């Protein structure tokens, strides 16, 4: 059962949400699996503790056609959430993602972004200005991130400096587009490289990038692959305007196609499907067809109040194709909000959403219920992770709505939802082939759409027949009277738990908050740096451990600062939790479908016990080593030796390497050509450990020059010993390569 719950906001809780909405949205998703929409909340810039701004839905400003058939488009949007095959990062030479766009992409993409970048630099060395490299996108929705190094200028560059930087920026753009061709990408999102932290003047930067893209494709007639679209994407309005200005300057005005013009082009012949319209993450298509024949993930039905599928033309058509089992499920189901969800049975979709709107002539709130029913369908589709949904024209038959009213109300619901929709969704309005008047009514309403940030993308028809419904929509849906958080979760229980958590954390009832979460033990150096910034801002933070629980206490002089800091800590813990789960899933997948052989060797066990006593080490670490197939039997008989499994890069010394996880072992030992993967699980005596260094053949000496350390380490994941007796092999895992 899907859960939906409204959480009203008042006074101090509203102010806190205005400041910390992004963090709250993320926390609710990770903790409870809930999608949160914020109604009636005007978000502020989040200055305290460096919380990022609320992501904006991508907004296409204009597009141009290059002679090779490539579309060049200008967007205002957030690159961390932009739907393209590849997004481009404005990187530095060492791929250190410390600030600006680089940090935003790294934070959103998770630890793999940093790990892959570090591994690349370690293997290949720094990039040069104008170079670009394609690496993984981590948790982002894209196939890859293209890291491109643009020229870095002085804070106030001279004209000569800008002129000298121009060819280097063009080289960076060409490097990006070469990668697009190599990987046969459909589209790529490019920001204004070098314009931010690298001080390239925005106007000149825009002109250089646009001309570089234009020249690249106009002079590439022999090229084998052309992308469908190159998207120039930036989130700051002044930069977007400069990019747009540069495009208009370099292309003929008649090539421009704005959003409004795209929607106007929908006035085609009555039998033609409409031009798809993009609003936020919603892709809207108006078409003629039979609703029961659609192959979208969801088909929406309009059923009678008594749940009979044999009443109404649309419902009867769906019933005939689906079969009698659907009627049985509808009759027995519990209605959630405005709809009932059933299996598709004989239909070619994944689910059917049944709506039950009342007759307009006998129910005063019929327009409201129709509007709310469409919204409920959209939210349920997103919550259930569907990608497409098909609506009929609800209400134009026996329910008494005019065709224009129906179009206006349904389109307004979609437009309002587009501002909150968290993921891509294809929405189809499917009109019966011979119903020309209904098709025309929807077409006219879409054509009236106008591009305005303060208004829905679909304007409402100004007809007397629609006046009452429009008045209700204006007062009840465009901006809720009471600000609130609308929670949509996988179950009713999840939304209630989320609401209880919100009540506790938004109450601002104390200047001191305790957070108990054992993921605190996984805090990295970066996390502790973030905590120290909070301390610098006047928040007192204490970490402690009690009765097996890791805890953080947050105190400040005001309840609001305490709550903001506590939410920031919760956000950090959620990110660590997601990273932990991601790594655990990787290891479970890695060690699935495996054979396990337990190692029993009394002689090795005796030597290990003697070494334990010699080192006076009571703690034995469980660690892993990846080995070649030919040495499995050798390790069973004589234990570990440096010659059997040398790492790809002995950066911490010439000893015997072990890792904390199989995942890390895959990075330390890469070049094995065996059919399977072989891991040895061992008990390892780390003892007193020092940082490793290249060339070590023994552990370094400590403060006493006569006493050496027992081992060395490389960070927290790698240990190196120099005596095979310090490790006891316990199991050998044979795993299939994925």
pTM over 0.75: no
Strands of 235-346 (E only): list them: 277-279, 282-288, 298-302, 339-342
Residue 733 has pLDDT above 50, yes or no: yes
Higher-confidence position of 273 and 575: 575
Q: Are 472 and 408 in contact (CB under 8 A)?
A: no
Residue 548 pLDDT grade (very low, low, confident, very high; cuts 50, 70, 90):
confident
Q: Select, from the ranges 36-45, 183-192, 439-448, 560-569, the one with the highest average predicted confidence (pLDDT).
A: 183-192
Residue 336 pLDDT grade (very low, low, confident, very high; cuts 50, 70, 90):
low
Q: Are 648 and 718 in contact (CB under 8 A)?
A: no
Out of 43-47, 276-280, 616-620, 717-721, least confident range: 43-47
Query: Cα(141)–Cα(456) distance, rounded to whole angstroms?
Result: 27
434: three-class secondary structure by DSSP: coil
Residues 6+ apart with CB under 8 A from 259: 60, 277, 278, 449, 451, 457
Give per-residue pLDDT as tens, 79-127. 988 989 999 999 999 998 877 788 888 888 888 898 899 999 999 999 9
* The predicted structure's pLDDT at residue 170: 94
Query: Cα(713)–Cα(658) distance, rounded to whole angstroms?
Result: 9
Query: Cα(610)–Cα(608) distance, rounded to whole angstroms?
Result: 5
The total number of residues written for the chain in this structure? 738
* The predicted structure's pLDDT at residue 17: 85
Segment holding 542, helix H or strand E: strand 540-546
Cβ atoms within 10 Å, residue 178: 13
* The predicted structure's pLDDT at residue 222: 65
Residue 727 has pLDDT above 50, yes or no: yes
Domains in the chain, ordered, with CATH? 1-40+480-507 (3.30.1370.10), 59-243 (3.40.220.10), 280-477 (3.40.220.10), 508-590 (3.30.1370), 595-736 (3.90.228.10)
Q: Which of 30, 31, 41 is nearest to 6 (CA)?
A: 41
Give the Å distances, CA to CA, from 45 to 25, 191, 558, 563.
16, 22, 19, 17
* The predicted structure's pLDDT at residue 464: 38
Residues 6+ apart with CB under 8 A from 647: 657, 668, 669
* The predicted structure's pLDDT at residue 627: 92
DSSP codes, 128-197: PTT-EEEE--TTSSSSEEEEEE-----SS--HHHHHHHHHHHHHHHHHHHHHHHHTT-SEEEE--TTSST
* The predicted structure's pLDDT at residue 186: 92
Instruction: Determine what percent of the chain is predicted with pLDDT higher than 70.
Output: 86
Segment holding 665, helix H or strand E: helix 662-668
Instruction: Kindly state the average pLDDT of the residues 690-705.
Output: 91
Instruction: Determine what percent of the chain is predicted with pLDDT higher than 90.
Output: 35
Q: Are 555 and 511 in contact (CB under 8 A)?
A: yes
* The predicted structure's pLDDT at residue 449: 57
Tokens of 501: 């958590």
* The predicted structure's pLDDT at residue 46: 44
Cβ atoms within 10 Å, residue 476: 14
Burial class (CB in 10 A: 0-12, 13-18, 19+), 452: exposed
* The predicted structure's pLDDT at residue 346: 93
Cβ atoms within 10 Å, residue 55: 18
Residue 503 has pLDDT above 70, yes or no: yes
Give per-residue pLDDT as tens, 213-260. 999 888 876 667 889 999 999 988 788 889 998 998 887 544 434 433
Q: Which of 425, 429, 388 is nearest to 411 (CA)?
A: 429
Q: Which of 416, 436, 432 is nearest to 284 (CA)?
A: 416
Give per-residue pLDDT as tens, 254-296. 443 443 344 344 444 434 445 578 877 888 999 999 999 999 9
552: three-class secondary structure by DSSP: strand
Tokens of 275: 């031009």
Query: Cα(8)–Cα(672) distance, rounded to whole angstroms?
Result: 58
Higher-confidence position of 335 and 301: 301
Tokens of 212: 């570089």
Instruction: Kindly state the average pLDDT of the residues 25-53.
Output: 67
Tokens of 389: 């949904």
Residue 587 has pLDDT above 70, yes or no: no
Q: Which residues lie across from 544 on neighbouring strands?
A: 551
Instruction: Kindly state the average pLDDT of the residues 37-46.
Output: 66
DSSP codes, 590-652: HTSS-EEEE---HHHHHHHHHHHHHHT----EEEEEE--GGGHHHHHHH---TTTS--SS-TT
Out of 18-27, 126-135, 252-261, least confident range: 252-261
Residue 47 has pLDDT above 50, yes or no: no
Q: Select, from the ranges 236-240, 384-388, 500-504, the one with the highest average predicted confidence (pLDDT).
A: 384-388
Query: Cα(712)–Cα(657) distance, rounded to whole angstroms?
Result: 10
Query: Cα(339)–Cα(322) distance, rounded to whole angstroms?
Result: 18
Q: Are 407 and 444 in contact (CB under 8 A)?
A: yes
Give the Å distances, CA to CA, from 518 to 464, 549, 569, 573.
62, 6, 13, 9
Instruction: Kindly state the average pLDDT of the residues 501-530.
Output: 85
Q: What is the mean pLDDT of the chain?
A: 83
Residue 49 has pLDDT above 50, yes or no: no
Residue 140 pLDDT grade (very low, low, confident, very high; cuts 50, 70, 90):
confident
Handedness of CA 90, 96, 100, 106 (dihedral sign): positive
Cβ atoms within 10 Å, residue 377: 26
């Amino acid at each position: 059962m899907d859960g939906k719950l409204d959480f009203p906001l008042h006074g101090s809780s509203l102010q806190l949400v205005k400041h910390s909405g992004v963090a709250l949205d993320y926390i609710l998703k990770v903790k409870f699996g809930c999608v949160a929409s914020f109604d009636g909340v005007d978000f502020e810039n989040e200055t305290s503790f460096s919380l990022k701004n609320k992501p904006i839905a991508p907004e296409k400003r204009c597009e141009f056609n290059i002679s090779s058939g490539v579309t060049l488009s200008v967007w205002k949007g957030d690159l961390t959430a932009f739907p393209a095959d590849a997004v481009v990062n404005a990187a530095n030479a060492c791929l250190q993602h410390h600030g600006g766009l680089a940090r935003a992409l790294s934070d959103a993409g998770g630890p793999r972004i940093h790990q892959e970048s570090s591994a690349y630099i370690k293997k290949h060395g720094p990039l040069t200005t104008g170079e670009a490299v394609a690496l993984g996108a981590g948790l982002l929705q894209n196939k890859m991130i293209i890291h491109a190094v643009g020229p870095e200028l002085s804070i106030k560059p001279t004209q000569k400096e800008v002129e000298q930087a121009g060819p280097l920026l063009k080289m960076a753009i060409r490097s990006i587009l070469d990668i697009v061709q190599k990987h046969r990408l459909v589209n790529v999102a490019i920001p204004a490289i070098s314009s931010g932290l690298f001080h390239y003047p925005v106007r000149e930067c825009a002109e250089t990038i646009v001309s570089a893209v234009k020249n690249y494709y106009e002079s590439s007639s022999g090229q084998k692959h052309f992308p469908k679209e190159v998207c120039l994407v930036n989130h700051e309005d002044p930069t977007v305007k400069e990019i747009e200005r540069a495009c208009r300057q370099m292309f003929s005005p008649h090539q421009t196609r704005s959003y409004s013009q795209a929607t106007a082009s929908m006035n085609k012949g009555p039998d033609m499907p409409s031009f798809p319209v993009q609003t936020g993450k919603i892709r809207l298509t108006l078409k003629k067809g039979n609703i029961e024949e659609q192959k979208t993930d969801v088909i929406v039905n309009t059923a009678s109040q008594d749940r009979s599928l044999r009443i109404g033309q649309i419902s009867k058509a769906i019933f005939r194709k689906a079969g009698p089992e659907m009627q049985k499920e509808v009759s027995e189901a519990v209605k959630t909000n405005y709809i009932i969800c059933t299996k598709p049975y004989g239909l070619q979709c994944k689910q059917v959403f049944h709506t039950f709107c009342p007759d307009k002539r006998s129910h005063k709130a019929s327009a409201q219920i129709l509007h709310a029913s469409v919204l409920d369908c959209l939210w349920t589709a997103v919550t259930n992770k569907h990608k497409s949904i098909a609506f009929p024209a609800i209400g134009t038959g026996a329910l008494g709505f005019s065709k224009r009213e129906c179009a206006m109300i349904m389109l307004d619901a979609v437009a309002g939802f587009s501002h909150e929709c968290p993921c891509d969704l294809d929405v189809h309005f499917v009109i019966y082939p011979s119903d020309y008047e209904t098709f025309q009514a929807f077409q006219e309403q879409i054509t009236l759409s106008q591009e305005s940030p303060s208004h829905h993308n679909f304007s409402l028809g100004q007809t007397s027949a629609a006046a009452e419904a429009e008045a209700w929509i204006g007062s009840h849906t465009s901006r809720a009277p009471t600000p609130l958080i609308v929670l949509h979760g996988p179950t009713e229980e999840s939304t209630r738990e989320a609401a209880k958590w919100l009540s506790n954390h938004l109450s601002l009832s104390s200047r001191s908050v305790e957070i108990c979460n054992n993921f605190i033990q996984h805090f990295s150096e970066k996390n502790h740096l973030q905590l120290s910034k909070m301390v610098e801002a006047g928040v007192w933070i204490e970490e402690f451990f009690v009765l097996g629980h890791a805890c953080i206490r947050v105190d400040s002089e005001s309840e609001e600062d305490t709550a903001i800091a506590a939410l920031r800590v919760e956000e950090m813990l959620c990110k660590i939790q997601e990273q932990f789960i991601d790594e655990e899933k990787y290891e479970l997948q890695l060690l699935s479908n495996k054979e396990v052989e337990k190692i029993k060797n009394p002689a090795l066990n005796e030597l290990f016990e003697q070494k334990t006593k010699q080192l006076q080490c009571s703690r034995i670490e469980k660690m892993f080593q990846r080995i070649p197939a030919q040495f499995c039997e050798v390790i069973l008989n004589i234990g570990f030796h440096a010659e059997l499994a040398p790492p790809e890069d002995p950066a911490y010394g010439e000893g015997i390497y072990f890792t904390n996880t199989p995942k890390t072992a895959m990075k330390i030992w890469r070049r094995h050509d065996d059919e399977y993967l072989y891991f040895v699980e061992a008990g390892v005596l780390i003892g007193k450990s020092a940082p490793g260094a290249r060339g070590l053949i023994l552990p370094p000496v400590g403060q006493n020059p006569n006493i050496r350390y027992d081992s060395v380490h490389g960070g927290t994941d790698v240990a190196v010993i120099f005596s095979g007796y310090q490790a006891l092999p316990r199991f050998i895992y044979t795993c299939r390569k994925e």
